[in-house]
């Protein structure tokens, strides 16, 4: 007996979608212009917008791949990717189980989390000083 497989039941997205891809790209264009003219940064939470299956991928595809790709490792990995439009970054945060906890489009010259944080710098300085003191007078290891 012929059985219908799951693949035959694959639900198409159809051509309708949510019509949210184009407006989002326009929003990014506006944000980019603002960044250039006023230095104002924008963050768009991709999870706050209703998107049909495949539309998130469509946005990422439209934005393309740029020059920079960076990985952060704090409470799980985070992926920072500059798109083919300099100043537009796609940022994906994962938790320790590699599950996505947030996906954002950041319009900025560099995502804030990539910069070393003042508190961390201070803590790092303390550690370095402590180590140098421990090692006793500037002996380079």
Residue 25 in contact with another protein, rule: CB under 8 A: no
Binding residue for another protein, selected from 57, 61, 102, 129, defined by CB under 8 A: 102
Asked if 79 and 92 touch (Cβ cutoff 8 Å), the reply is yes
120 binds another protein (CB under 8 A): yes
Q: According to DSSP H, which parts of the chain are helical?
A: 21-38, 55-63, 118-135
Give the nearer residue to another protein in terms of CB position, either 36 or 112. Answer: 112
3-state secondary structure of 114: helix
Q: Which C-beta is closer to another protein: that of 68 or that of 113?
A: 113
Burial 82-100 (b: 16+ CB within 10 A, else e): bbebebbbbbbbbeeeeee
Site for another protein (CB under 8 A): which residue of 22, 61, 84, 95?
95
> Using the rule CB under 8 A, which residue among 25, 32, 35, 49 binds another protein?
49
Q: How do 42-45 and 100-107 pair as beta strands?
A: antiparallel
Query: CA 22, CA 59: separation in Å to the nearest integer?
Result: 9
Instruction: Work out whether 52 is an interface residue with another protein (CB under 8 A).
Output: yes
Residues forming contacts to another protein in the complex (CB under 8 A) are 4, 9-14, 16-19, 43-45, 47-53, 55, 72, 74-75, 78, 93, 95-97, 99-104, 112-113, 117-120, 123
């Amino acid at each position: 007996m012929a059985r219908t497989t799951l693949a035959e039941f694959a639900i198409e997205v159809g051509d309708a979608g949510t019509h949210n891809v184009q407006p989002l790209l326009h929003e990014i264009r506006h944000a980019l212009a603002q960044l250039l003219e006023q230095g104002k940064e924008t963050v768009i939470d991709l999870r706050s917008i209703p998107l049909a299956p495949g539309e998130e991928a469509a946005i990422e595809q439209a934005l393309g791949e740029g020059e920079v790709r960076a990985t952060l490792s704090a409470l799980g990995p985070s992926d920072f990717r500059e798109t083919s439009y300099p100043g537009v970054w796609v940022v994906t945060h994962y938790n320790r189980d590699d599950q996505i906890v947030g996906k954002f489009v950041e319009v900025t010259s560099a995502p804030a989390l990539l910069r070393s944080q003042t508190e961390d710098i201070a803590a790092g300085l303390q550690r370095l000083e402590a180590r140098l003191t421990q090692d006793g007078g500037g002996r380079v290891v």
